[in-house]
Structure 1
Amino acid sequence: MVIVIIKICKYYFNVRRFMRPLEYLKELSFPRMGGSDSETKASRMITEWLTEFGYSPQIEKFDIYTYIPGRGSLKPLDTSLSEIPINPVGLSADCDMAKEIILLNIPEPEWAEKDELKNKIVLMPHPPRRKWVSLLVESNASAGIIVVDDIRIRAYRTLGQEVARDFGEKIPLATLGYKYAIGLINENVRRVHIKTEHKRFDGNSQNVIAELAGESERTIIITAHYDSTPSSPGAQDNAAGTVELLQLAKKLAGNKFYRNIRFLFCGAEEMGLLGSKAFVRNHIHELRNVDFLINLDVGGNPIAPVMLRTLGTDNLEHFIGGILKSKNCPAQVESDIYSSDGMPFARFGVPSVSIARAGINSRGHSPYDDYWQVSNRALMEIVDCAEIVLSAIADAKVLPFQRTIADEMMKKVDEYFKERE
């Protein structure tokens, strides 16, 4: 009897029980790069909070190839311009070289004159995806310098795991801020010395999983990634989605639906959806029972409208749009792919909706994505939106839309992974 009373008192007097989502978000707003100690710290925080809500969360580790962000420099050799800071692209080769530099601003790799790139440092606006990295390697370029928005001068890009495996040690890559690139072009710089260095190693990340048991074997997964890019506190992207998912778990604790509700907090999303890929790989035989997935990625901006991207068929888009309208929940609903953790599930025919709010004053993937940009009201509006969608499906004996993905959408999914793997 005494033990029961103590447990009840602990529950009702636990300060965290009364915390608002924004307070959780402030605690999570620190860089949480995939495979880092800080990402592990975040996973433990999430596990602790879920336990306080009454769940028995599980941690599933998975292997990744990761790195410690480094530094680099670019020194123009034929002008009086000062040395310029550059950032190594994670998992690419390091270098210390002096070479001719050339601008490559073509729209697609097939436009390239490969002989012109040979033994040169290539300045380009394109992200380090397979087709561009492959072009540099096949052309025997010496290195690639990727121009990024000035707000991301201190941010880091990372090669996808498969691209790193195939090309990472073959080509040095780095990022350079737009204002510095303009200076190089205006000064007609022809030769530069670049140096980059960062540590690469085999490590691991982890997913955190909690479940609300239902009455059947059918399942709905609700997911959010809790990692961030290396230099970013990751408030909007994606501590926001993480605390929205925590809030849903807190609100739903103790309920029982027809379908199981699985809360999936993914690690290492920013390194190429590695957490969701690992979950799909480890639970592949369970996917036939997964009817639907709700993904929460990027949130907290009170100015931006709520945006939903459905990945399935037209009747999924119409169903979700209709149910939100009937509940007077203003949101923009469109059918399209969304670059986040719903994508690996789509490969196995699991339809999904991604819910986000971003746009004006976006600071994602930068050191400026901090908690002061986030509103508690904005977080709760997405929680309410997600709960409306979930409630309309969780207890339905017959799924109110087709559990399939249209052919034209699957083509987009295939093309998405072809570019990145």
Structure 2
Amino acid sequence: MKRGLWLILLLGFSALSFAPERAKADLDYLVGIGPRVAGSPAAAQAAEYLAQQARAAGYVTEFQSFSYTRSRDTGSSLSLGESRLEAFALSGSPGGSFEAVLQAVPGIGAAGDYDNLDVQGKIVVVRRGGIPFLEKARQAAARGALAIVVVNNEPGGVRGTYGATGPIPGVTVAGRDGEGLFARSGERVRLVVGSVLEQAQARNVIARRADSQAPGVVVGGHYDSVPGAPGANDNASGTVTALELARTLRSESWARDVWFVWFDGEEDGLWGSRNFVQAYPEWVRGLRAMINLDMVGVRASSALGIGGNPALLELLERSGVQFNDIGNSGGSDHTPFAQAGVPVLFFHWGIDPNYHQPTDTVADPQVMAETAGVVRLVLERILGR
């Protein structure tokens, strides 16, 4: 987009009261309560805060409670001789202890990477990226692998999820530790996957205007974070951007049927958005769009990434918005809506170095304000003035 139009968009939105200082206060609160793991006291505190802030802005709020079974990592590791590497069990992974030969798989563990490889009964090691963890595990399992080790594509460690029950045990290891594993293919290793099953009690937070009986557009993002990560960018940034949008749109007549939903359990496999779609099929069928904000507080790429429905993307292009088309990216809360036939847009500034780390403590309200300006533009185009 031409710089002049971009400035007009931002200045126009700023005049409509997106308040960076208020957004910063919200961010500080959510980050300050610690990792918001679904079902934890911190997550419950975050949900209450969001509901209270939405009510203060003039919305009617309710909680959608649900439960699900998830796996929790009680301690995982990979040992080769005298070397022992810390590992993180993938959420949804079976647990147990395993001894077998390590087999390096070139690439990311896609189907073609297994050509001419015998992995039957072995523990395979692959690189992160390209395809979801679950697909990596399925490809390995289809060829008889006993378990899978995924080496992070950043120096640090990462916690991941299958998003379902995994076909074989799986862990991740830090990039700085795991890269050397590829040179040790053929050695015998011991893998401990400390997964145990537990019930998580979670809640979505729903906010609507009192004069709205059904949503026309849902704007939302997940408020939970992974264990050990305060989740400033992932995803207090999207959570707070949606909250500040709710405040600024409260008095707009055309935005009467914009509902705001903050999802729980995303990090364990999109549980909040799945449960919303399943619990409210009539509302979902009537939606004109779902807009998902996930990791919109750090400028991790050169332009805002937006993916989803082609007609909505074309609407943005016609409006002069410059963005990176990230296609039909999955892995976040727009996915269950898209699967139900709802036109979706996914707003995402990219993966920053603090992703799923204890250092995810900072997000930039100005970047969030830029994102919110584009979301508002989309809503105006969809719903009209």
Task: Tell me which amino acid in the other structure corresponds to 1:97.
Answer: F
**Residue in 2 aligned with 1:20?**
22
SS in 1 for 2:382: helix
**Residue in 1 aligned with 2:119?**
117
Q: 1:70 and 1:53 mapped to 2: Cα distance? A: 41
Q: Name the CA shift for 1:83/1:362 in 2 (closer, same or farther; >3 Å).
A: closer
Q: 1:346 and 1:260 mapped to 2: Cα distance? A: 19
| Offset at residue 135 of structure 1 (A) | 3.9
Q: 2:206 and 2:49 mapped to 1: Cα distance? A: 13
Whether contact under 8 Å (1:103, 1:122) holds in the other structure is yes
Are residues 1:141 and 2:145 paired? yes
Q: 2:55 and 2:256 mapped to 1: Cα distance? A: 21
Whether contact under 8 Å (1:237, 1:297) holds in the other structure is yes
Q: 2:124 and 2:133 mapped to 1: Cα distance? A: 15
Q: Name the CA shift for 1:86/1:189 in 2 (closer, same or farther; >3 Å).
A: farther
Post-superposition CA distance 1:313-363 (Å, at most 9, x none): 34x33322333x3xxxx631637213222222222332122223236x542
**Residue in 1 aligned with 2:206?**
209
Q: If you compute each CA radius of gyration, which structure gives the higher value, 1 or 2?
A: 1
SS in 2 for 1:287: helix
Of the candidates 335, 345, 348, which is equivalent to residue 353 of structure 1?
A: 345
SS in 2 for 1:194: strand
Post-superposition CA distance 1:103-146 (Å, at most 9, x none): 12265336537983222222122566444323444444332211
Task: Tell me which amino acid in the other structure corresponds to 1:292.
Answer: A
**Residue in 1 aligned with 2:325?**
334
Task: Tell me which amino acid in the other structure corresponds to 2:318.
Answer: G
Matches within 5 A, 1:224-303: 224-257=221-254, 259-302=256-299
Of the candidates 368, 371, 386, which is equivalent to residue 375 of structure 2?
A: 386
Structure with greater proportional helix content: 1
Q: 1:41 and 1:391 mapped to 2: Cα distance? A: 33
Percent sequence identity is 24
**How many residues were matched structurally?**
361
Q: Name the CA shift for 1:268/1:152 in 2 (closer, same or farther; >3 Å).
A: farther
Whether contact under 8 Å (1:306, 1:331) holds in the other structure is yes
| Offset at residue 19 of structure 1 (A) | 5.3
Task: Tell me which amino acid in the other structure corresponds to 2:89.
Answer: P
Task: Tell me which amino acid in the other structure corresponds to 2:241.
Answer: E
Q: Name the CA shift for 1:298/1:28 in 2 (closer, same or farther; >3 Å).
A: same
Whether contact under 8 Å (1:214, 1:258) holds in the other structure is no
Instruction: Report the RMSD for the aligned CA atoms in angstroms.
Output: 2.9
SS in 1 for 2:100: strand
Q: 1:108 and 1:310 mapped to 2: Cα distance? A: 23
TM (normalized to structure 2)?
A: 0.83
**Residue in 2 aligned with 1:319?**
315
**Residue in 2 aligned with 1:410?**
none
Q: 1:334 and 1:186 mapped to 2: Cα distance? A: 37
Q: 2:305 and 2:25 mapped to 1: Cα distance? A: 25
**Residue in 2 aligned with 1:61?**
65
Q: 2:235 and 2:297 mapped to 1: Cα distance? A: 9
| Offset at residue 158 of structure 1 (A) | 1.7
SS in 1 for 2:273: helix
**Residue in 1 aligned with 2:3?**
none
Whether contact under 8 Å (1:59, 1:208) holds in the other structure is yes
Q: 2:188 and 2:163 mapped to 1: Cα distance? A: 29
| Offset at residue 271 of structure 1 (A) | 2.4
TM (normalized to structure 1)?
A: 0.76
Instruction: List runs of 5+ in structure 1 lacking aligned partners.
Output: 1-16, 397-421
